[in-house]
Structure 1
């Protein structure tokens, strides 16, 4: 209650800043909740099936209470497809964390802005600049540093993390260039349903181990609420008030939180090479996000000037 009162007293930009920062922090809690769920018998497919099913159910109840309908037709199909992409990214991330260190997994997953930039330049006509090229080299150098200066013979966990980065990047490209949302919360509900459907199919094809203890189910519920619904709502509410560049920059708090939890609470080792590689990848992500936002601002100004003519 006190935190809500505090937010209500802030101006729009400060409130948006705090909400996006809250979203990044909550997303960073995922490894902590997942650890307790795994200890209670869950595997990545079963945990993610439970996570997204619970999150979708709660959000659908919220939408029903507010009288908000779900997207229909083409938009519904697009959001479901986007959910499949995000679901595959989550599968890669959680499988990586389950088979290698959380620290390495989150560093590799956060190389996704470099993938988005490469695809945008090669396939979508985005202009290549020296700044972008330097950022891409920085991101690649960070990945190589974190994985031991070589991609040959990397662990299956590292490959899962890189798979997650590719799926996440592809989903961002598709969502940015193909979808116009009518209501962000309704679209989020369809996206969560797409994620749940992805893991329902995966469970049918290969089986899944759901949480089997009360503590594991509490951890799964915490994952669904505090590391899924809360950050989704906070980000949707806060990002329009501060702009995409600042929102993307603040989102890099997520890997910092996740790595801190892994080292301090989960007892993971964190090497100098991983630290240096992580810093390089995070800097590249921030630089690419701010460069992309600056280019969108220029395009908007130029478009407005053209329409004035």
Structure 2
């Protein structure tokens, strides 16, 4: 009975994490319609995170779940700032270059995390990690045509997103112990919204201006933000962080497929080969296995959610 329940729990976790990755991959499709309705990246992301945070706050109030306070609240807001900057880099890259190139370059973040972990956090190196890093760097070089200086600002925005996302992953893993994952997610989304509220007030932002673009923004906030956040938080503790990270590599596959099949983007052989190299590197780095601290943190989250 216990073994059967464990298998069911693992299968459910597997499905939830795959659902999260698929939903995250839908972002370019929703963003395309929002941009067509007059939104710019700052306006779109402000709307996205404000709606997502508002819906989640209503849910938490309905369930009687309190928000984090004190140091944990500040940490989650700071984490939201990092994720907000990563989102800005990704959306700016996808708009000025292409979704395919943007997602390939953004997914070099596991390599960035590994470099920082080895050089600054005392993590042990290994041949497999070094091979993975070489694959990631080779994939970037191939996807950008071996000429980052001549690449569009989109490529630089995407690499900026990878650095910001990697830094957020490191900070979230090594600095924060969440009391309730959904409450922390709400605070993180508030931090993301505040990240874009400031430049919107100071410099202005173009919000969606048509009914279709607002529907697309609502879809982005719900189906490509809240649903995957909830699915990942519910599923990852059941299968472990390394398996969850590996399954999450479905996101770039979905995003690039949408860009090619539904948005008419052209993918060169060099970009395709580079993307495959980056994806293999991400999978290899994810399969290195979680630290005991990461696993115990996720295990504790699962226990608190049940």
Q: TM-score, normalised by structure 2?
A: 0.93
Q: 1:261 aligns with which of 258, 261, 275?
A: 258
Q: Deviations over 1:68-90 (max 9, x none)?
A: 00000000000000000000000
Which of 139, 142, 146 pairs up with 1:142?
139
Q: Indicate which of 103, 120, 126 corresponds to 1:129.
A: 126
Equivalence for 2:47: 50
- The one of 75, 92, 97 aligned to 1:100: 97
User: How big is the shift at 1:130?
Assistant: 1.2
For residues 151 and 42 of structure 1, what CA distance do their matches in structure 2 show?
Answer: 28
Q: Secondary structure at the match of 1:267?
A: coil
* 1:116 match: 113
Question: Equivalent residue for 2:25?
Answer: 28
SS of the residue 2:288 aligns to: helix
Match of residue 306 from structure 1: none
How far off its partner does 1:293 sit?
A: 2.6
TM-fit CA distance, 1:205? 2.6
Which ranges in structure 2 are unaligned for 5 or more consecutive residues?
298-306
Aligned equivalents of 1:195, 1:91: Cα separation in 2: 10
Query: Where do 1:204-243 residues align within 5 Å?
Result: 204-243=201-240
For residues 240-276 of structure 1, the C-alpha deviation after alignment (integer angstroms, 9 at most, x for no partner) is 0011111001000000000000000000001100110
Give the match's secondary structure for 2:272: helix
What is the distance in 1 between the residues matched to 2:292 and 2:166? 19
- Off by >6 Å, runs of 4+ in structure 1: 294-300
Alignment size in residue pairs: 292
**Superposed displacement of residue 150, structure 1:** 2.5
Unaligned runs of 5+ in 1: 1-7, 301-309
TM-score w.r.t. the length of structure 1 is 0.92
Task: Please report how far the alpha carbon of residue 297 of structure 1 lies from its aligned counterpart in structure 2 after TM superposition.
Answer: 9.3
After superposition, the Cα gap between the structure-2 partners of 1:297 and 1:36, relative to the gap in structure 1 and judged at 3 Å, is closer
Counterparts of 1:116 and 1:140, CA distance in 2: 13
Counterpart in the other structure of 2:285: 288
CA contact (8 A) 2:241 2:295 kept: no
Distance 1:298-1:64 versus aligned 2 partners, 3 A rule = closer
Q: Which moved more, 1:27-36 or 1:241-250?
A: 241-250
Counterpart of 1:89 in structure 2 is 86
**Cα RMSD over matched residues?**
1.8
Task: Determine the C-alpha separation between the residues in 2 that align with 1:81 and 1:243.
Answer: 25
CA distance in 1, matches of 2:296, 2:51: 40
Give 1:298 deviation, angstroms. Answer: 11
Once the two structures are TM-superposed, the CA of residue 151 in structure 1 deviates from its matched residue by: 2.1
Greater Cα shift, 33-42 or 204-213: 204-213
Q: Which residue of 2 aligns with 1:154?
A: 151
Distance (Å, rounded) in 1 between the aligned partners of 2:69 and 2:293? 29
Question: Quick one: distance in 1 between partners of 2:146 and 2:55?
Answer: 44
Aligned twin of 1:165: 162
